[in-house]
Amino acid sequence: KAGVTQTPRYLIKTRGQQVTLSCSPISGHRSVSWYQQTPGQGLQFLFEYFSETQRNKGNFPGRFSGRQFSNSRSEMNVSTLELGDSALYLCASRPGTYNTGELFFGEGSRLTVL
Amino acid sequence: AQSVAQPEDQVNVAEGNPLTVKCTYSVSGNPYLFWYVQYPNRGLQFLLKYITGDNLVKGSYGFEAEFNKSQTSFHLKKPSALVSDSALYFCAVRDRPYNTDKLIFGTGTRLQVFP
């Protein structure tokens, strides 16, 4: 079974631009969540989706948004990029049934903002 | 609020020796605790979890963790370290309410195993 797939793996943007990151969960998984990882702030929760509905959101500005499609694939968007948005963005999925809490993470999209 | 703390930024151990990576928690109610490992330029891999039951939890790659309610700790252990265990280890707790996937992570501990 294929794991969580994130694209692109690496990208470079300049300040003020916007970026869209994609996440394909493990087949059959209906819940997708996103995390930001930086050296200074560590791992921080961005948001989570279940059946196309945002179920929870972390403390990030409105420039960070996301969505989930009917096939459970998810995208997150960051508009008006700032230098501080440089980070590894991790997507995770799990089955939408009994929530044991174990998340399956992708390898991440590393964003560099210049 | 739920939180976890990893007091050591780095742990160094010789190959073949036992290793311990420390984690303490602060939660309201019963904790859902996890350990994840991250290798360079990779995502997080699940190692083990404590939800309820036996205080000694066994996980992947020979790792285990001991849940101690009185000391509010959830230390990760392995009887004999391998050089390939060198990685970044994260302790995490599930946020409330428990129908969320939101995990609150510790700051991470870098484990270095020397040959």
B50-95 pLDDT per residue, tens: 988 889 999 999 999 999 999 999 999 999 999 999 999 999 998 8
CA distance A92 to A74: 10
Q: Give Cβ neighbours of residue A47 (< 8 Å, ≥ 6 apart).
A: A33, A34, A54, A56, A57, A58, A60, A64, A66, A76
Query: What integer pLDDT is reported at residue A97 of this predicted model?
Result: 62
Query: What integer pLDDT is reported at residue A75 of this predicted model?
Result: 98
Is B105 in CB contact (< 8 Å) with chain A?
yes
Residues forming a β-bridge with A48: A33, A56
Query: What integer pLDDT is reported at residue A98 of this predicted model?
Result: 59
CA distance B99 to chain A (A): 7
Nearest to A106 among B43, B106, B108 (CB): B43
Looking at every residue in chain B, the average pLDDT score rounds to 93
pLDDT above 80: residue A53: yes
**Distance spanning both ends of chain A, measured CA to CA:** 37
Nearest to A99 among B42, B44, B98 (CB): B98
Residue closest to A74 by CA, chosen among A41, A112, A100, A46: A46
Within 8 A of B108 by CB-CB distance, chain A residues are 42-43
Q: What pLDDT digit, counting tens, does each position of A92-112 carry?
A: 998 766 566 689 999 999 999
CA distance B48 to chain A (A): 9
> In 10 A of CB B68, how many CB atoms?
13
Is A104 in CB contact (< 8 Å) with chain B?
yes
DSSP 8-state assignment for residue B55: S
Q: Which residue of A has its CA nearest to B103?
A: A45
Is A60 in CB contact (< 8 Å) with chain B?
no
CA distance B112 to B97: 35
pLDDT above 80: residue A13: yes
Q: Do B36 and A106 touch (CB under 8 A)?
A: no
